[in-house]
Amino acid sequence: MQMNKDSKCDILQLKQEGKGYKTVSRLTGVNINTVKSLCRRSGLFQDNPEHKRLFTIPERQYSTAVSEPKPLPPQRIITGHKQTDAYLWILEVIKLNEPAHLPAAEEALTRLTITPKEAQEKYTEYLISHGVNGFQLVFSTMTLDNPQHFIDQAKAQFIQAEEVRSVFGSCEAAYYEFTEPEKRLEDTLGYLYDNCLGWTKAEKKRGSIQGKRVNG
């Protein structure tokens, strides 16, 4: 069936509004394959090379090595039971997600005379004796008897952190330094996320803008 100019315009207009091919086909009564073919031939829905470049994850360009390992947490007396407290401390070390400390932490687990299940029970008894109960008790002891769970989590974090460092140089840069697309989004929509967008450091510290800046 030959489409007239108005039908073609309607199809392209609906597609530009973000409607899917099935919806456009249903609304216009035109076969879906014809709709797809028209949209493809129009050239209006091809990838924008500039957008594709902006939103492509950069290639790896930095070393993934960590310059300085995180410090070990202090050893604390928590329950008063030495083996239980040692187990809790080893879990803290594992949860640092620090590659330099993980092998030693895994080795330390094998030298304990208490089992993870026994440590969980001892710690649960300690919490109950100090008035902890309900959901707080459950969340405080959940998977405590499964150190491998925390080890696997730490190793997964190592991999993710290495990927971030290899692209952005550091995890801090990834979090706090805007990429080019993010800069453009902030310029356009920043006011949605930051009530103080455009304020100077002094104005942010004071909590207000004054004078001509109010109507600027």
Residues 59-82 as b or e (16 or more Cβ within 10 Å = b)? eeeeeeebeeeeeeeeeeeebebe
Domain ranges (residues) in the chain: 5-46, 82-167, 179-214
pLDDT at 51: 74
DSSP letter, residue 164: H
Distance CA 166, CA 172 (A): 12
Distance CA 107, CA 92 (A): 14
pLDDT at 163: 83
Residuewise pLDDT in 10s, the chain (216 residues):
567 888 899 999 999 888 999 999 999 999 999 999 999 888 888 877 777 777 777 777 766 666 678 899 999 999 999 999 999 999 999 999 888 899 999 999 999 999 999 999 999 999 999 999 889 999 999 999 999 999 999 999 988 888 887 877 776 776 677 777 777 777 776 655 566 767 777 887 787 777 766 655
The model carries a pTM of 0.58
Distance CA 132, CA 125 (A): 10
DSSP letter, residue 113: S
Query: What is 26-81 written as a DSSP string?
Result: HHHT--HHHHHHHHHHH-TTS--HHHHHHTSPPPP-S----SSPPPPPPP--SSS-
pLDDT at 209: 76
Distance CA 102, CA 47 (A): 45
Name residues whose C-beta falls within 8 Å of residue 35's C-beta, 6 or more positions apart in sequence: 11, 15, 21, 24, 25, 28
